[in-house]
Amino acid sequence: MAAVSTATRPQTAASSADQVNVTVDKQDVLHAVDGRTGLYYAIPISKNSIRALDLRKIKSPNDAKHPAYQNEQGLRVYDPGFSNTCVSESKITYIDGLEGTIQYRGYSIHDIYGKKKWIDISHLLIWGTLPSPEEAKAYQDRLNAVPLLDEHVLNVIRAFPTNGSITGMMIAGLSALQSVNLDTVPAHVGENLYVGHPERVDAQIIHLLQSFAMIAGACYCHYTSREFTQPRPELSYIENFLLMTGHVDAATGLPNPRHVEALERLWVVVADHEMTCSTAAFLHTASSLPDVISCFISAISAATGPLHGGAIAVAYKHIKAIGTVEDVPAKIARVKAGKELLYGYGHRVYRTTDPRFTYISQVLDGLSEEVGRDPLLRVALALDKAASEDEYFTSRKLFPNADLFAAFAYQALGFPPEFVLPISCLSRLQGLTAHWKEGLQDKPKIWRPGQIYTGELEKPWTG
């Protein structure tokens, strides 16, 4: 990136919000003039982005009044919340919020839904290909070969009060799992274990996928005071999850096939959603090269916040407060009058209907018998129907949040609202581990964002 004087170039005064048309050769270059120095910079554009490091050569004149603003790294980018910052390249998931599309490894969810199962999509996300029947069976066999939970892990979970936080139980269970497998922790071993060792990465992914399903099942059973059932090798991943949580038919002792199919379809739709807050937390931790359990604990912790996965719990409480189906019109009127908010509607990414919502609605349609027996779900669906038919909401592009409706599907399957976030963490683990594997393939770089210091300097010492 070259810096040259602009003395021979036409100068145009413009504010930071102005767009000025100038005649230049059309190239993949951002032409920038630093108004403080008059220097011109040609900054390469690649994939409709510029490299933050290319801004380092843009140096500011010395400003004695603001030494904290002077940085040897050059011009910095101030972006609270990373609202317009890309921190990685990925081949896993593509989202177009304007068109309302999601693709896994180039395959549209419109082509995948109802045709592929969890075992297929998790293989696609993690290893990049849809498995053959033989590959799918080998993958399932590897999952089923993971050892049962160590008694120390179960004891840690059971040490919690039964009415305690399920996510807290899960994080504790994961920490115990890590402690009984310390040979997988790089800092404990004293060496790099995963960069350049894809076979170790794959082994840890398999181990975590199966172990966390068992941990989630054990936590749920402890919370609901029911007996935990160990997984069976002849069952699928989702069948075993329902078995471990005790969601089985009394007559057969096996999961209801309708419920298995509902979860298969649901977990395909919610498998990954690109760089979410929890995914970023996972990868931020991963950048220091710890074990995968440490990364996953970071992701779960991020997901609990009310601006992320915890928002579903907030929406649930507000829907419950509505009362009955007959009270929905009054709720809609209060929202339109600006007296209340409509929780569970709108999304930071989508400006049209979330493509996942369509398929999650189909899952709910298949569970109509269960929905009809649940007063809260009847209120929620009546609220959605009223909002979807009201110009006030449609003109503002306030579409239902797919994650909220996935929560409704879980409730229809018999899981209480308190288990929605834990089960969501399990459904999303396939995508998180895919990002972990991808991030270790190149030379990883630790994530170390900067800050702009705005406090006082050189205060006189009076101590």
Phi, psi of 228 (to 5 degrees): -80, 130
Instruction: Read off the amino acid at residue 436.
Output: W
Enumerate residues 6+ apart whose C-beta is below 8 A from 86: 49
Q: Is 111 a catalytic residue?
A: no
The CA distance from 32 to 37, in Å, is 12
Catalytic residue among 347, 354, 384, 435: 347
Distance from the first to the final alpha carbon of the chain = 49
* 34, containing H or E segment: none
Q: Is 152 a catalytic residue?
A: no
CA geometry: angle at 399 spanning 395 and 403, to 5°? 170
Tokens representing 373 are 């027996």
Cβ atoms of 270 and 356 within 8 Å: the answer is yes
- The residue among 138, 120, 118, 116 whose CA lies nearest residue 129 is 120
The CA distance from 321 to 342, in Å, is 12
List, as one string, the DSSP characters of 263-309. HHHHHHHTS--SS-HHHHHHHHHHTT---HHHHHHHHHHHHTSTTTT
Catalytic residue among 54, 120, 384, 403: 403
**Looking at the annotation, which residues are catalytic?**
347, 403
